[in-house]
Structure 1
Amino acid sequence: MDKKVLIISSSPRKGGNSETLAAAFAKGAREAGNPVETVYLREKQVGFCKGCLACLNLGHCVIQDDAVEIAAKMHDANVLVFAT
């Protein structure tokens, strides 16, 4: 069975060492027949927690950013790779 692979790249530099290593991992995973998606955090908007604790009452964060989308992808993945 194929493993759904999610790579999260946190490097602010396009083409840097971390990103190069992540690309090599992705290539190998694809060659092994696995679907691979890479998320580049430099292209996303992710806010800092404000400590308002609204999430405890609402069940979700009130900050509207890309973190919800990223968390959903992480939940659905079988393999998580962090390139930092």
Structure 2
Amino acid sequence: MRGKEAVREWMATAYQEPPRFMVETLIEGGDFVTALGTIRLRDGDGKEADYSYCDVWRFRDGKMAELKAFVIRADPE
């Protein structure tokens, strides 16, 4: 995706409702900020499911230049 509008359009279709998340760790180094945490989303069946996530942001000239995000479903108990 490129640009704010592309991100907004994707989020409008990707999430039926805003996700609930908790940032557990923030790591900053140079041009990068990394967030690790948990997130709760609705799965394809509409049931809530827990996930772990990692977002890695790269900044250039004070603006976000790149984002890589990883989401892994937690094992159901």
State the TM-score, normalized to the length of structure 1: 0.27
Structure with the largest fraction of helix: 1
Asked which structure has the greater CA Rg, the reply is: 1
State the TM-score, normalized to the length of structure 2: 0.29
Q: Which has the higher contact order (CA 8 A, sep 6+)?
A: 1
